Chain A
Amino acid sequence: MSDNILEIRNLTVRFRKRAAVDAVTVAFRRGEAVVIAGPNGAGKSTFLRCLAGAIVPDRGRVLYRQGLSRKNIGFLSDRLSLYEGWTLEEAWMFHRREFGIAEPARPTFQGIDLAPRRRIKNLSVGERTLFHLSLLMAQKPAVLLIDEVLHALDPYLRERFLEAVIEAMDEFQTAVIMVNHVFQETAQLPERVMIMDRGRFGLDESREDLERKVKKAAVAGEWPAEIPVLFETLSDLRKERYVYPFREEWAGKSGLDFKDVALGEIVKAFIGGAYVQKRAR
C-alpha cells in the first residue's frame, strides 16, 4: 500500500455513450514494470492518457503518491504530441524550462545524431519517437507511460529505445507502464502483465505466475471437461488449446502433453479468447 506511486480509483471515461474505461481500480508501485495489452479499442491508450493528465475522467480519480507530479511523469503518447513547428533545440529548451530540468544538454542515444536545427515535423517517426523519449529521460521520470510506439521503430531504434528505458529503470527506479503487443524483444521487461478488454482489466498477474498458469497442449481425442480452455487455435493443421489457470495435477492427464508458453503467445491467447467471446455473443 505505502509503496504505491499511482493509485487509480473507479476510473471511468466515456466517449459518447460508450465507456472506454469502465470503473477501473488499480495501483502501481514504485519501480514496477508493467505491460498492458489487449484488443484494439480496449481503452488502453485512454487509460494511459488519464494517468498522464491529458484526459480528465468522467468518474473516479488518479492519485499521485510519494511526491509524484507531472514534472516527473514522462508520457510517450502514440500521437507523439509536440509543437511540430519548432526545431529540436527550441523544443528541448521549452521542455527543459517547463519541467524544471537542470541539465543543459539533452540525453542522446548511441549512434543517433539529430541535428538541433531540424524541425520536428521533418523527422521520421522513429527519429521523432526517440527524440521525444530523450526529452522524457531528461526529466528523470519516476513514472514512464509508454503507449504503442515500439512497433513503428526499426530494429536498431527499438534496441536503443529499450536500452534507454532499462537505464531509467535502474537509475531512477522508474515505474514503466507500457502498452505493447510486440513481445519479441520486450518479453523480459515487465514483471506484471495486465490485459484490458472493453474498458476493464480482465487479467492482472505477475509474469512469473502467468507463465506458470498458462500452458498449451495439442488436442488429441477426448478433452477432460474440467480443464478450462482459454483459447483454441483456429488452424486445422494444428489444433492446440491454451489452458488457464493451469493446475499441476493436470500434467500428463489423458495423455495431454502440456507445454510452456512464451509471454507473447500468452497475450495472443488471451486476446484471441476475448475476440472469440465477442463473436459468440
Chain B
Amino acid sequence: MIRISVDLNSPLPAYQQIIQSLKIEILSGRLKNGDRLPPIRELAKLLKLNPNTVAKAYYTLENEGFVEGRPGSGNWVNVRAPGLNGLRRSMLDGETRAYLDRAFSLGANLDDVRNSVQRIAAHE
C-alpha cells in the first residue's frame, strides 16, 4: 500500500508533498521499477486533491526522471539508476540539515550529536 499523505498545515505545497512521498517510496524500494503509480483520479479522490495537483506531481517526477508516463495507460516507475543514488544522498542531506538545526537549537554541539547518533543506532 502506498504511504502518501498530505498535511494541509504544512508550508509545503501539496504536489511537493506527493513528490516527496513518492520519492521515499521509490528509495525505500516499496515502489520498484515497472510498478504502476496509482491512477491520478484514485489518488486525487483519496487525498481530496484537485486532479491537476496530482497530475502536476507526476509530471514533475517524469521530468526529474523517476517516472514514465504512457498516455492512456497511466504512470509507471522507471528510474534511471544514477538518479536513485543522487536522490538518496540529497534527501539524506536534507534530513540531516533539519536534524542538526533542531539539535543545535537545544544547545548541543557536534560531539553530542555524534554520541547520540552512535548510541541510538546501536540500539536499532
Residues of A within 8 A of B (CB): 31, 33, 159, 162-163, 166-167, 169-171, 185-191, 208, 211, 260, 262
Contact = CB atoms under 8 A, between A and B. Distances in A.
Contacts of A187: 8
A41 to B, nearest CB: 29
A162 B50 contact: no
Interface in B23-78: 40-41, 44-45, 47-53
Contact of B48 (A170, A189, A260, A262): A189
Contact of B41 (A31, A166, A262): A166
Contact of B9 (A31, A166, A169, A262): A262
Interface residues of B, number: 17
Contacts of B41: 166-167, 170-171
B53 A167 contact: no
Nearest to B49: A188
Given A33-B52, A169-B51, 9 more contacts: A159-B48, A166-B49, A170-B51, A171-B41, A188-B8, A188-B50, A189-B50, A191-B50, A262-B8
Chain A to chain B: the 10 pairs with minimum beta-carbon distance, closest first: A170-B51, A170-B41, A163-B45, A188-B49, A166-B44, A260-B11, A166-B45, A189-B50, A169-B51, A185-B48
B98 to A, nearest CB: 17
A33 B50 contact: yes
A169 B53 CA distance: 12
A155 B110 CA distance: 49
A261 B48 CA distance: 19
A188 B45 contact: no
A186 B44 CA distance: 12
A170 B40 CA distance: 8
Given A166-B45, A260-B11, A262-B9, A188 B40 contact: no
